[in-house]
Amino acid sequence: MKVNFSPQDLEKFDHIGDNHIGTSSDTPIREDAFALNSDEKIEIIRDDVLHILQTLGLDLTDDSLKGTPNRVAKMFVNEIFSGLDPKNKPKASTFENKYKYGEMLVEKNITVYSTCEHHLLPIVGRAHIAYISNGNVVGLSKMNRIVDYYAKRPQVQERMTIQIVRELQSVLNTDDVACVIDAKHLCVNSRGIRDIESSTVTSEFGGQFKDKEVRKEFLSYIQLKTEF
């Protein structure tokens, strides 16, 4: 579906993107988002990427470029935007906390690879997650998988942080979940202001983590150096 925008609309959209303005804590997905299967999406995106590269003046008969449209299309659907499809959502089974561990559990330095939805450039960083069990625990790797699932879509870092916390709150049936993400945005590092040193930190604290002392304890844990 082709949409025509006025010059005023385009200026407004540029302003939103350059100023990192978000619109919702839920990813804006259309109701018909899954009317096409993955193969059909790849075919359409391949043609669109080919058109972009041709418009830029590249010679797509060159051996180095001829496979690029297909590679990009497959990457979009099967890899970096695979978190848009609910069927890829990790199954996070919980278990009874039989050993009665009552302190917070922290999973830190989880690798984040995401994509800024304003310029489709990478977001790369680390997520730190904590929860306090109310009787249930979740497998450690599932926490990493939840981060990866919400990262693999066009994102705003604030939204991603909220989504991760909400998902773990739902899985664990507790409000006592926290998440901090520290990441570099290539839309800042490689274009625009081109500041390669800056990073963005976002946080979301639920339940007991809203308490100043509990939050302080969590933040002190993620500062610890992990040595082997």
Cβ 128 vs Cβ 179: under 8 Å: yes
Greatest pairwise CA separation for the chain in angstroms: 64
Domain ranges of the chain: 7-88, 94-221
Mean confidence (pLDDT) of the chain? 92
Residue with tokens 């009874």: 96
pLDDT per position as a tens digit, 91-145 = 988 999 888 888 999 999 999 999 999 999 999 999 999 999 999 999 999 999 9
Hey, what CATH class is 94-221 in? Answer: alpha beta
Residue 228 is predicted with a pLDDT of: 75
Least confident of 67-71, 164-168, 177-181, 189-193: 189-193
Q: How far is CA 83 from CA 15, 197, 210, in A?
A: 27, 28, 29
Q: Which residues are catalytic?
A: 116-119, 157, 185, 187
Q: Over the chain, what HEC string results?
A: CCCCCCHHHHHHHHHHHHCCCCCCCCCCCCCCCCCCCHHHHHHHHHHHHHHHHHHCCCCCCCCCCCCHHHHHHHHHHHHHCHHHCHHHCCCCCEEECCCCCCCEEEEEEEEEEEEECCCCCEEEEEEEEEEECCCEEECHHHHHHHHHHHHCCEECHHHHHHHHHHHHHHHHCCCCEEEEEEEEEHHHHCCCCCCCCCCEEEEEECHHHHCHHHHHHHHHHCCCCCCC
Cβ 207 vs Cβ 130: under 8 Å: no
Alpha-carbon span 161 to 181, nearest angstrom: 7
pLDDT per position as a tens digit, 26-83 = 999 999 999 999 999 999 999 999 999 999 999 999 999 999 999 999 999 999 999 9
Whether the per-residue pLDDT at 2 is higher than 80: the answer is: no
CATH homologous superfamily of 7-88: GTP cyclohydrolase I, N-terminal domain (1.10.286.10)
Please give the model's pTM, rounded to 2 decimal places.
0.89
Q: Which residues of 103-137 are buried (b: 16+ CB within 10 A; e: fewer)?
A: ebbbbbebebebbbbbbeebbebbbbbbbbbeeeb
Alpha-carbon span 181 to 157, nearest angstrom: 8
